[in-house]
Amino acid sequence: MPFIPHTPDDVQVMLAEIGAESIEDLFDEIPGELRVNELDGVPEGVSEMEMLGLMSARAAADVAGVCFIGAGCYDHHIPAAVWDLTARGEFMTAYTPYQAEASQGTLQLIYEYQSMMAALTGMDVSNASVYDGASGLGEAALMAMRANKKIKSRTILIAETVHPFYRETAQNIARHQGVEFKTIPVAANGLVDMSALDEVGEVTAVVVQQPNFFGLLEDVDAMTDWAGERGAFLIAVVNPLSLALLKPPGSWGSEGADIVCGDGQPLGIPMASGGPSFGFLCCRDKLVRQMPGRIIGRTEDLEGQPGFTLTLQAREQHIRRGKATSNICTNQGLLVTAATIHMSLMGACGLKQVAERCVAQTHKLVTALVSIPGVEERFCGPFFHERVLNLPRNSETVVSMLLEHGILGGLPLGEHYPGMEDALLVCATEKRTAGEIEHYRSALQMCLES
Amino acid sequence: MKKNAATIFELGKTGRGAMAQRVPSGGTPANIPESQLRKVQPALPEVSELQVVRHYTNLSAKNFSIDNQFYPLGSCTMKYNPRGAHGAASLPGFLGRHPLAPEAVSQGFLACLYDLQEILKDVTGMQGVSLTPMAGAQGEFIGVAMIRAYHEARGDLERNEILVPNAAHGTNPATAVMCGYKVAEVGLDASGDVDTEALKAAVGPQTAGLMMTNPSTCGVFERRIREISGVVHDAGGLLYYDGANLNAILGKVKPSDMGFDVLHMNLHKTFATPHGGGGPGAGPVGVGERLLPYLPVPMVGERDGVYRWMTEKDLPQSIGRLSCFMGNAGILLRALAYALMLGREGMHRVGEYATLNANYLASRLEKAGFELAYPDRRATHEFVLTFSKQAKSMGVTAMDFAKRLLDYGIHAPTTYFPMLIAECFLIEPTETETLEELDAFVSALAAIQREAQSDPERLLSAPHDLPVRRLDDVKAARELDLVWRAR
Amino acid sequence: MSEIPTELRFATSHEWARLEEDGSVTVGISDHAQNALGDVVYVELPEQGQLVAAQHEAGVVESVKAASDIYAPVGGTVIAINSALDDAPELVNQDPYGAGWFFKMEPADVEELTELLDPEAYAEICEAEEH
């Protein structure tokens, strides 16, 4: 019996102790008409070897080639030590650290994580993670609603240059509480159309992504000050890797951002079809009681030795029930473990070098691809590690053709931005070599000539 | 165990680093204006690779885990997490797949998700399953959002209230509120079943639905579930099944047959995926026919052996996207691997042996002099023990017993939940524990009970043998120290 | 057995109210309530000038393991809050009827005080809860 250790003798001993004839007797309180025996949709069980055979064949079928897709999930190198340590059973098979004395490993690690995220974002505090960047934005929006008591409107402005899936997810999470999202349109240069801001009335918060979905750098100082002058919160959606190089949200404008969220995937998490990854959420000290999710604090034990424990739990659902800041319970603890180890290994210098190399490789990629007649950069402003290219034909068609050359060429934008059917969002991380970039160039040239 | 609690930051020195991880940078990008660049480096650790490996290895040793200890946390289903499932999800083809890779090069992954959808449909009796929810609480949110969408689509706009039994997990009322509903709680009768008279009085034209677990958090099976679903349905409400306790009835009872319209499953409980020190989980939702149009996207469809993503174009009434990509995809793969190894027969055995272990443990503890909260009921996969008598007569609480158990090398059961039973333990041994392990647990609790009589201070000041003594959580909350600063 | 001063009025939700000589009403939580909550770690107070209706939420008091809403025992305007609780929430435990007060109100209708429980009636409620 897979994973069940009982011998027939064990079962007899246990039934005798209980005073039951059979295991079936233990279900005698369940009304007979509810009992089922049919599970036709579940196949016969197989050994681990056979299971791995099937799964290996499926995994191998998806090895597609060199990845030039970004759009919220990036192909970075992960130091070997990250997952060697993260996959230790002591981290992987522990529960939420409710029994603090038996969970000091996880608790101290999350405290270190909170410290690293606060440092990276330039904010005062971080929680212990939320599910992913997109749902984190939903939580950030609800948090702003609770915390910004000066503004009575239930409107949040969100830039059209924020990841389309983030916008959808955040709206789907927050709309049940009467939150209305208004989109600030994208201007021809691929950035937030600041002129459209003048017509907006009272808003609770403004959401801006840096670098934005097109890889461009927004004028975050101006956006932050615009929000601050109107009593609106500034919610920053950021790529954590970029913060080793770019100005952190805590330093945006004259006052800095109020809430910062994003996806931690670039910090040591494999792409793995987009999950599990983790969402991070950081804020100013004064907002910490409106923060959803778990938070770890340092304290002392009864001998005065330092130790770590869950704190501010009265915000959470297991105590506050219907009045909690969120219903979130389980978060993404193991991915936070990986990210903490990753950040420790890389340090500020290591992350900055990776970020710089991503920028450099993307420049090389763009230079190589626009050398092909008909391929152009769609926007001209400064960018991080993604770029939108205009192709001479439908980008989705081109992406399919590139697959035959072992190239995952990027994300066609037509589905997300009507009118951009020929546009392609490309990305080169530090992993992309000169050879791979040249291979992409020649493959694209062939596809466009065919 | 080492009592050192130095943080990784304190191990560092300016200029040190894990140099094998450094890449040639390419220099400061010329295209980025000075005003956009970071002026001061973030205060991350400056440590060698060995320091990192040693620090986190030592930290890991300060954790209890399933791999190290018996971990009978009620309602958490801390069963063995098969390494084979972890191995399957860690295959390079799965780890390296970009979430936006075209379908043509994603057939292996899509086939896995499709198979899991089908298996979960069958074990729950539901008509459709969406795998996107990233945890149980998100599954609840999505489930209640679907209930709301259903009523709204029918123009039934007066329903503004969700009912929950007062023993429910805190996520239930918190979810209902997030979905814009008011919450009304319904009590239990003395035997742990829902008070159906109170329920009848509580339902009405305002009722959008009822959320409940079955077996309940009291560790008993709700015997009048058909009556309850009838009452709620007659009032026009829908029934939500919180799958936190599905392990008890896996392969034995299908939630659809109990009258539930929508549910979530906790794959990190019932399908043995690791808890990871607080996640990731996965909380797929299943629905009956009425809610099929509202399932969240993306889902996976199949035609002639070709798999494809189903989006809002296929499901125009969907409540939409609730994660950036495909939820916690890697957890879904682990759950599928587990299900494949269990198979049909193994699925039946989960509920059977989980129930056998719980009833055996309950019986032995009762005979050892401990008090069951529901002595006249069958235990399900878990049961409630109350230390009210010990608290009154000896001044030792359930928390003291819990902390002392840690010294015995056993993780404490869930304490003080369900809230309506004083001084309680909620104990869930799971099916993967041996008879010997259960006996050792009984011996440990009995020994602690003797200590409580002879030397209560031993309990009150427990734990004694862990990396830290009992922690001051009042100080933690009053003097917030949430990030490390050089001092 | 908890302390119940005789000059106070009580709400069933465990707030106390004291009519001051200047006609204002001071509000706090009872000794019984602070005992039941345990060590108070945070108090969220209403804003000065805020209008609150009787029996409506006017704040939150938190311990490590619980959080309770504070309801205004009478309707009126909040005219003072005890900001000492920001840094010293333990005052609620140490001196619930003195330094641990929460806020002062100018009552809209001082007669509402008579609808609250007198000390004897409140003692009965506490006794019932303690058993």
| β-strands A376-377, A306-311 pairing | unpaired
C-beta atoms surrounding A189 within 10 Å? 13
Task: Please write down the HEC assignment for all residues of chain C.
Answer: CCCCCCCCEECCCCEEEEECCCCCEEEEECHHHHHHHCCEEEEECCCCCCEECCCCEEEEEEECCCEEEEECCCCEEEEEECCHHHHCCCHHHHCCCCCCCCEEEEECCHHHHHHCECHHHHHHHHHHHHC
- Mean pLDDT along residues B78-103: 97
* A103 plus A231 within the same structural domain: yes
C16 beta partners: C10, C28
Span A345-364, pLDDT tens digits:
999 999 999 999 999 999 99
Contact A393, A354 (CB under 8 A): no
Indicate if the pLDDT at residue B75 is higher than 80.
yes
Chain A partners within 8 Å of C66 (Cβ)? 314, 319
Q: Do A93 and B65 touch (CB under 8 A)?
A: yes
* Cα B137 to Cα B264, B268, B278, B445, C102, distances in angstroms: 9, 12, 13, 33, 35
* pLDDT of the residue at C100: 96
Q: Do A356 and B42 touch (CB under 8 A)?
A: no
Chain A partners within 8 Å of B86 (Cβ)? 87, 92
* pLDDT of the residue at C129: 79
Phi, psi of A322 (to 5 degrees): -65, -15
Among A292, A325, A342, give the residue marking a domain's end: A342
Residue of chain B minimizing CA distance to C40: B474
* pLDDT of the residue at C1: 58
Chain A partners within 8 Å of B480 (Cβ)? 288, 297, 311-312
Task: Judge whether A388 lies within some domain.
Answer: yes
Sign of CA dihedral A132, B171, B223, B438: positive
Show the tokens assigned to B122.
């069958």
Instruction: State the count of interchain CB pairs (< 8 A) between A and B.
Output: 703
Put simply, whether A321 touches C (Cβ < 8 Å) is no
Q: Do C66 and A313 touch (CB under 8 A)?
A: no
This model of the complex carries an ipTM of: 0.97
* A151 plus A288 within the same structural domain: yes
Chain C partners within 8 Å of A323 (Cβ)? 67, 69
Residue of chain B minimizing CA distance to A94: B65
Q: Do C39 and B474 touch (CB under 8 A)?
A: yes
* A337 plus A430 within the same structural domain: no
* pLDDT of the residue at C92: 96
* A321 plus A375 within the same structural domain: no
Span A364-398, pLDDT tens digits:
999 999 999 999 999 999 999 999 999 999 999 99
Q: What CA–CA distance (Å, rounded) separates A114 from B485?
A: 11
Show the tokens assigned to B137.
């609480």
Indicate if the pLDDT at residue C131 is higher than 70.
no
Indicate if the pLDDT at residue A76 is higher than 50.
yes
* A189 plus A270 within the same structural domain: yes
Chain B partners within 8 Å of A91 (Cβ)? 60, 63, 65, 276-277
* A140 plus A271 within the same structural domain: yes
Contact B245, B382 (CB under 8 A): yes
Q: What CA–CA distance (Å, rounded) separates A283 from A325?
A: 15
- Mean pLDDT along residues B217-238: 97
Indicate if the pLDDT at residue A448 is higher than 80.
yes
Put simply, whether C67 touches A (Cβ < 8 Å) is yes
Task: Please write down the HEC assignment for all residues of chain B.
Answer: CCCCCCCHHHHCCCCCCCHHHCCCCCCCCCCCCHHHECCCCCCCCCCCHHHHHHHHHHHHCCECCCCCCECCECCCCCCCCCHHHHHHHCCHHHHCCCCCCCHHHCHHHHHHHHHHHHHHHHHHCCCEEECCCCCHHHHHHHHHHHHHHHHHHCCCCCCCEEEEECCCCCHHHHHHHHCCCEEEEECECCCCCECHHHHHHHCCCCEEEEEECCCCCCCCCCCCHHHHHHHHHHCCCEEEEEECCHHHCCCCECHHHHCCCEEEECHHHHCCCCCCCCCCCCCCEEECHHHHHHCCECEEEEECCEEEEECCCCCCCCCCECCCCCCCHHHHHHHHHHHHHHHHHHHHHHHHHHHHHHHHHHHHHHHCCCEECCCCCCCCCCEEEECHHHHHHHCCCHHHHHHHHHHCCECCCEECCCCCCCCEEEECCCCCCCHHHHHHHHHHHHHHHHHHHHCHHHHHCCCCCCCCCCECHHHHHHCCCCCCCCC
* pLDDT of the residue at B167: 86
Put simply, whether C131 touches A (Cβ < 8 Å) is no
Phi, psi of A41 (to 5 degrees): -80, -5
* pLDDT of the residue at C3: 85
Among A316, A342, A368, give the residue marking a domain's end: A342
Indicate if the pLDDT at residue B2 is higher than 60.
no
Q: What CA–CA distance (Å, rounded) separates A12 from A26?
A: 13
pLDDT class for A323, splitting at 50, 70, 90? confident
* pLDDT of the residue at A45: 97
* pLDDT of the residue at B487: 66
Indicate if the pLDDT at residue B255 is higher than 80.
yes
Residue of chain B minimizing CA distance to A131: B134
Put simply, whether C90 touches A (Cβ < 8 Å) is no
Task: Judge whether A311 lies within some domain.
Answer: yes
Put simply, whether B471 touches C (Cβ < 8 Å) is no
Put simply, whether B474 touches C (Cβ < 8 Å) is yes
Q: What CA–CA distance (Å, rounded) separates B42 from A121?
A: 8
Phi, psi of A100 (to 5 degrees): -55, -40
Span C32-91, pLDDT tens digits:
999 999 999 999 999 999 999 999 999 999 998 888 999 999 999 999 999 999 999 999
Chain C partners within 8 Å of A314 (Cβ)? 41-42, 62-67
Indicate if the pLDDT at residue A309 is higher than 90.
yes
Put simply, whether A319 touches C (Cβ < 8 Å) is yes
Percent of chain A with pLDDT over 90: 92
Put simply, whether A286 touches C (Cβ < 8 Å) is no
Choice between A396 and B419, residue whose per-residue pLDDT is larger: A396
Put simply, whether C39 touches B (Cβ < 8 Å) is yes
Chain A partners within 8 Å of B52 (Cβ)? 81, 85, 341, 344-345
Q: Do B91 and A353 touch (CB under 8 A)?
A: no
Chain B partners within 8 Å of C41 (Cβ)? 474, 477-478
Asked if the peptide bond before residue A240 counts as cis, ω within 30 degrees of 0, the response is: no
* pLDDT of the residue at B3: 57
Residue of chain A minimizing CA distance to C41: A312
- Mean pLDDT along residues A296-307: 96
Domain boundaries, chain C: 9-124
Q: How many domains does chain A have?
A: 2
Q: Which chains touch B (3 or more CB pairs under 8 A)?
A: A, C
* A375 plus A429 within the same structural domain: yes
Chain B partners within 8 Å of A382 (Cβ)? 29, 31-33, 36
pLDDT class for B1, splitting at 50, 70, 90? very low
- Mean pLDDT along residues B432-445: 98
Chain A partners within 8 Å of C67 (Cβ)? 314, 319-320, 323
Put simply, whether C69 touches A (Cβ < 8 Å) is yes
Give this prediction's pTM: 0.97
CA distance B381 to chain C (A): 27
Task: Judge whether A413 lies within some domain.
Answer: yes
Chain A partners within 8 Å of B57 (Cβ)? 85, 88
Instruction: State the count of interchain CB pairs (< 8 A) between A and C.
Output: 18
- CATH number, domain of A150, equals 3.40.640.10
pLDDT class for A450, splitting at 50, 70, 90? confident
pLDDT class for B6, splitting at 50, 70, 90? very high
Q: Do C64 and A323 touch (CB under 8 A)?
A: no
Put simply, whether C64 touches B (Cβ < 8 Å) is yes
Span B111-145, pLDDT tens digits:
999 999 999 999 999 999 999 999 999 999 999 99
Q: What CA–CA distance (Å, rounded) separates B466 from B230?
A: 51
* A192 plus A317 within the same structural domain: yes
* A323 plus A370 within the same structural domain: no
Spatial neighbors of A69 by CB under 8 A, at least 6 apart, are A408, A409, A410, A411, A425, A426, A427, B98, B100, B101
Beta strand segments in A142-244, E: 155-159, 180-184, 205-210, 233-238
Span A171-192, pLDDT tens digits:
999 999 999 999 999 999 999 9
- CATH number, domain of A373, equals 3.90.1150.10
CA distance B297 to chain C (A): 37
Task: Judge whether A277 lies within some domain.
Answer: yes
Indicate if the pLDDT at residue B4 is higher than 80.
no
* A330 plus A369 within the same structural domain: no
Instruction: State the count of interchain CB pairs (< 8 A) between B and C.
Output: 13
| β-strands B371-372, B383-386 pairing | antiparallel
**Which residue in C48, C62, C63, C68 has the most chain A C-beta atoms within 10 A of its own C-beta, making it the best mutation to test that interface?**
C62
Q: Do B473 and C64 touch (CB under 8 A)?
A: yes
Spatial neighbors of A197 by CB under 8 A, at least 6 apart, are A157, A184, A226
For A42-57, b/e burial (b = at least 16 CB within 10 A) is beebbebeebbebbbe
Residue of chain C minimizing CA distance to A310: C64
Rounded to the nearest 10°, the torsion over CA A294, A297, A301, A304 is: 180
Among A289, A317, A342, give the residue marking a domain's end: A342
* A370 plus A303 within the same structural domain: no
CA distance C7 to chain B (A): 32
* A215 plus A363 within the same structural domain: no
Put simply, whether A150 touches C (Cβ < 8 Å) is no
Instruction: Quote the domain boundaries for residue A423.
Output: 66-75+348-449
CATH of the domain spanning C9-124, picked from 3.60.10.10, 2.130.10.10, 3.30.230.10, 2.40.50.100: 2.40.50.100
pLDDT class for A140, splitting at 50, 70, 90? very high
Task: Judge whether A45 lies within some domain.
Answer: no
Chain C partners within 8 Å of B473 (Cβ)? 64
CA distance B334 to chain C (A): 35
Q: What CA–CA distance (Å, rounded) separates B229 from B234?
A: 8
User: Which DSSP symbol is given to A130?
Assistant: B
| β-strands B285-287, B262-265 pairing | antiparallel
Show the tokens assigned to B368.
């050892």
For A213-225, b/e burial (b = at least 16 CB within 10 A) is bbbbbbbbeebbb
Q: A 207-226 residues with CB below 8 A of C? A: none
Put simply, whether A193 touches B (Cβ < 8 Å) is no
Q: Do A357 and B327 touch (CB under 8 A)?
A: no
Residue of chain B minimizing CA distance to A403: B105
The average confidence (pLDDT) of chain A is: 96
